[in-house]
Amino acid sequence: MRAVVVVMMMMCGIAQAAEPKSVTNTIGMELIEIPAGKFTMGSPEGEKDRHHEEEQVAVTLTKPFGLGKTEVTQGQWKQVMGTEPWEGEGYVQVDKECPATFVSFFDAVEFCDKLTDLERKAGELKADEEYRLPTEAEWEYACRAGTTTAFSFGDESKINSHAWWGGLDTEVLRAGEGKPGPGNAGREKYAHKVGTKKPNQWGLYDMHGNVWELCSDWHGEKLPGGTDPMGPEAGSNRVLRGGSWGNRPGLHRTAFRDYCVPSAHSHSLGFRVALCIGGRGVTLAETLDKQVVRLFHEGKYAEAEPLALQSLEVSLKKNGRDHASTAMSLNNLAWLYKTQGKYDLAEPLLKRALAIREKVLGPDHASTATSLGNLASLYDNQGKYDLAEPLYKRALAIQEKALGPDHADTATSLNNLASLYDTQGKYDLAEPLYKRALAIQEKALGPDHPSTATSLNNLAMLYATQGKYDLAEPLYKRAVAIQEKALGPDHPSTANSLNSLATLYATQGKYDLAKPLYKRALAIREKVLGPDHVSTATSLGNLASLYKTQGKYDLAEPLFKRALAIREKVLGPDHVSTATSLGNLASLYETQGKYDLAEPLFKRAIAILDSALGASHPDTILYRKNLAQMKAAREAAGK
């Protein structure tokens, strides 16, 4: 049954409908048509149980939308998904009219995706219409239905007739599971059949109580205001609204906000769907990909991997093997493997992503160039420079042709190729490429853009490697200044530039200048990224190396050990970065003549490098040479 736009009268900025209209879709789900309008989101000062996150904001919703008359039921879930995630779980009443629980945010988004597909195949949705979760602003607007009171039905005294509540309050849990709760769900500890309490003024049931309802927004400490707000661009938790059968009345207020991690599921967590025009939702694959990228940057690889695999599976089912979205999911999973040193897993994924883009988008498309750069970077990391170079060159040629010689992405390809030459000591080839990349970014992005700072750091590092410290220092300093201004003094990229400048000073023996920079970089990374992030391990290693150079072995050892422990935990015991930490600690022991401690560490590092990079890789060769020199020194010392 097709939806029609409801004719509304606007009074005092709130849409008023004489009688709410509804439509029923092909699975029997009824949706109420919610008008566009304006309202004040949040709670006024003095409202009982008010929370500081409820500071009021003005909101305008420019488009009408449909909203589920009830929460998604077990029967509706089974029709669309064919599963019963609540089966065998506690605090659940199994009934087709009870809310679907034990579903996560990801599950809810997938339900919306599949329902959209079903309705489109049935000819019930236009191309620009889709089902999705409501935004936080849409949810509160629909819940209020023109009211400004703490509850859509007025005050707390009427809660029993409008909501299921009070089944598992804190006092009840402390007293023991068998004691009834204070509310009308106290003796029936589960979500009840939908639509058994009174609806709000727009005909929506259970907006207060029964189950917490997921919204599409990331949770932020302040309410999103303005026109058609969608919440923060990124975050760690998704917004929950409405309270549940287990909560006290204050958590059922219209303005009360809660949140959960996207993977959370429980007996009191459910959702209702919105039907929107204009495609403002996101697909499950897109949602998963964003979560993977966030976890990746936080160094939480173990959490990111199953989501990356799920994203790939969803994209394959929805889009097929040769779709650009599938290539994106392949790239994300491959990048995750690459960072962990799982090159054998990453390579076939990157190759497949490249093949998809060449086939679907064409061999000269900018996204094809991105895939070429990704595969080249994998070979670069393994020391397979002969394989990496032609890929970097082809990527550069595509971007120069497709985007232009002065595009910021062209500068990225120039930097990649320059870095390859730099690593091989081909400084005469690297320098003009670094300089050209810097010039492009200064022109295209501006002299104070973070990407310009990255190019400054690259060129400075080239000069530092050649001992041209007088050329390197002003470039490093300018990069730090740009990042402090553009990103802030506590941004991880600022920490990267501080580390680079500190290393320049340490190389010149200016330890008094290097030490405070290393310490500041470490403090930023511990604060922003966390004490167990791989970048924190890098800062620990840098500071430890400084102490080692100064002969302060007692200060260096615990830092080297902590860096090693982080890398073993986050990256795994067989990662090349773990080998680096083993080598650093071994070198410290060797310097002190503690050969019996150093030798097994060197041997373990070599075994890792042999397996990950191969016996002919420069790093593997270097470590073997270090071990041989140590053995010779040990024999000479008679130890």
pLDDT value of position 171: 54
**Can you tell me the mean pLDDT for 254-279?**
90
% of the chain at pLDDT higher than 90? 73
Is residue 51 very low, low, confident or very high in pLDDT (cuts 50, 70, 90)?
very high
Q: Domain check: are 22 and 131 in the same one?
A: yes
558: amino acid identity, one letter? P
Is the pLDDT score of 627 beyond 50? yes
Lowest mean pLDDT among 335-339, 510-514, 582-586: 335-339
Count other Cβ atoms within 10 Å, centred on residue 428.
8
Is residue 552 very low, low, confident or very high in pLDDT (cuts 50, 70, 90)?
very high
Is the pLDDT score of 585 beyond 70? yes
In a domain, 206, yes or no: yes
* Nearest-angstrom CA–CA distance, 217 and 178: 36
Q: Domain check: are 82 and 219 in the same one?
A: yes
* Nearest-angstrom CA–CA distance, 436 and 428: 13
Please give the mean pLDDT across all residues of the chain: 90
Is the pLDDT score of 313 beyond 90? no
CATH code of residue 131: 3.90.1580.10
Q: Domain check: are 248 and 307 in the same one?
A: no
The total number of residues shown for the chain amounts to 639
pLDDT value of position 578: 95
Q: Domain check: are 245 and 373 in the same one?
A: no
In eight-state DSSP terms, residue 249 is: G
Is the pLDDT score of 346 beyond 80? yes
Is residue 19 very low, low, confident or very high in pLDDT (cuts 50, 70, 90)?
low
Lowest mean pLDDT among 310-314, 357-361, 572-576: 310-314
Q: Domain check: are 156 and 67 in the same one?
A: yes
CB-based contact 245:301 (threshold 8 Å): no
Q: Domain check: are 236 and 302 in the same one?
A: no
* Nearest-angstrom CA–CA distance, 82 and 145: 34
Q: Measuring CA to CA, which residue among 121, 86, 82 is closest to residue 104? A: 86
Count other Cβ atoms within 10 Å, centred on residue 384.
17
* Nearest-angstrom CA–CA distance, 367 and 383: 25
CB-based contact 502:542 (threshold 8 Å): yes
* Nearest-angstrom CA–CA distance, 131 and 29: 12
The three-state DSSP-derived secondary structure of 542-603 is HHHHHHHHCCCHHHHHHHHHHHHHHHHHHCCCCCHHHHHHHHHHHHHHHHCCCHHHHHHHHH
Is residue 279 very low, low, confident or very high in pLDDT (cuts 50, 70, 90)?
low
Count other Cβ atoms within 10 Å, centred on residue 309.
15
User: Would you say the pTM of this structure is higher than 0.75?
Assistant: no
Q: Which of 400, 430, 455 delimits the end of a domain?
A: 400
CA atoms within a 13 Å half-sphere pointing along the CA-CB vector of 220: 16
CB-based contact 490:521 (threshold 8 Å): no
Q: What pairing do the DSSP bridges indicate for beta strands 57-61 and 226-227?
A: parallel
* Nearest-angstrom CA–CA distance, 549 and 560: 13
* Nearest-angstrom CA–CA distance, 278 and 350: 33
pLDDT value of position 297: 75
577: amino acid identity, one letter? S
* Nearest-angstrom CA–CA distance, 355 and 348: 10
pLDDT tens-digit map of 590-614:
999 999 999 999 999 999 999 988 8
Which strand (E) or helix (H) includes residue 622? helix 618-636
**Can you tell me the mean pLDDT for 362-373?**
93
Show the tokens assigned to 330. 């392949």
In a domain, 507, yes or no: no
CA distances from 293 to 231, 333, 372 (A): 18, 10, 20
Q: Measuring CA to CA, which residue among 380, 373, 335 is closest to residue 354? A: 373
pLDDT tens-digit map of 389-448:
999 999 999 999 998 999 988 999 999 999 999 999 999 999 999 999 999 999 988 999
| R_g of the chain computed on alpha carbons | 29
List, in order, residues 6 or more apart from 599 with CB less than 8 Å away.
586, 627, 630, 631
Q: Domain check: are 221 and 305 in the same one?
A: no
> Which parts of 93-193 are beta strand (E)?
129-132
DSSP H helices in 56-209: 74-81, 105-121, 136-144, 159-162, 170-175
Lowest mean pLDDT among 300-314, 337-351, 526-540, 552-566: 300-314
* Nearest-angstrom CA–CA distance, 56 and 225: 9
* Nearest-angstrom CA–CA distance, 104 and 319: 23
Q: Domain check: are 48 and 135 in the same one?
A: yes
* Nearest-angstrom CA–CA distance, 64 and 19: 15
CB-based contact 191:245 (threshold 8 Å): yes
CB-based contact 218:237 (threshold 8 Å): yes
Is residue 317 very low, low, confident or very high in pLDDT (cuts 50, 70, 90)?
confident
pLDDT value of position 251: 94
Q: Which of 275, 299, 334 delimits the end of a domain?
A: 275
**Can you tell me the mean pLDDT for 586-590?**
95
CB-based contact 330:365 (threshold 8 Å): no
In a domain, 242, yes or no: yes
Show the tokens assigned to 388. 């990496």
Domain that holds residue 317: 290-400
pLDDT tens-digit map of 90-137:
999 999 999 999 999 989 999 998 999 999 899 998 888 899 999 999
pLDDT value of position 7: 28
Q: Domain check: are 298 and 261 in the same one?
A: no
pLDDT value of position 168: 72
In a domain, 81, yes or no: yes
pLDDT value of position 637: 82
* Nearest-angstrom CA–CA distance, 541 and 162: 60
CB-based contact 229:131 (threshold 8 Å): no
Which strand (E) or helix (H) includes residue 304? helix 301-319
* Nearest-angstrom CA–CA distance, 374 and 34: 46
Q: Which of 244, 275, 306 delimits the end of a domain?
A: 275
Task: Please give the tally of structural domains in the chain.
Answer: 2
Q: Measuring CA to CA, which residue among 556, 458, 456, 459 is closest to residue 506? A: 556
Q: Measuring CA to CA, which residue among 18, 324, 505, 23 is closest to residue 9? A: 18
In a domain, 212, yes or no: yes
Q: Domain check: are 196 and 345 in the same one?
A: no
pLDDT value of position 273: 97
Compute the Cα dihedral for 379, 381, 386, 388 and give only its sign. positive
* Nearest-angstrom CA–CA distance, 211 and 191: 6
User: Which has the higher per-residue pLDDT, 127 or 68?
Assistant: 68
CA distances from 453 to 371, 438, 446, 481 (A): 24, 9, 10, 9
pLDDT value of position 178: 54
Show the tokens assigned to 490. 């506590």
Q: Domain check: are 202 and 348 in the same one?
A: no
Is the pLDDT score of 4 beyond 50? no
In a domain, 347, yes or no: yes
* Nearest-angstrom CA–CA distance, 143 and 200: 7
Question: Which letter, b or e, does each residue of 182-221 get, where b requires 16 or more Cβ atoms within 10 Å of its Cβ?
Answer: ebbbbeebbbbbbbebebbebbbbbbbbbbbbbbbbbbbe
Is the pLDDT score of 318 beyond 90? no
Q: Domain check: are 311 and 216 in the same one?
A: no
List, in order, residues 6 or more apart from 465 with CB less than 8 Å away.
422, 427
Compute the Cα dihedral for 482, 484, 486, 490 and give only its sign. positive
In a domain, 156, yes or no: yes
CATH code of residue 374: 1.25.40.10
pLDDT tens-digit map of 513-541:
999 999 999 999 999 888 999 999 999 99
In a domain, 600, yes or no: no
**Can you tell me the mean pLDDT for 30-58?**
95
pLDDT value of position 170: 53
632: amino acid identity, one letter? A
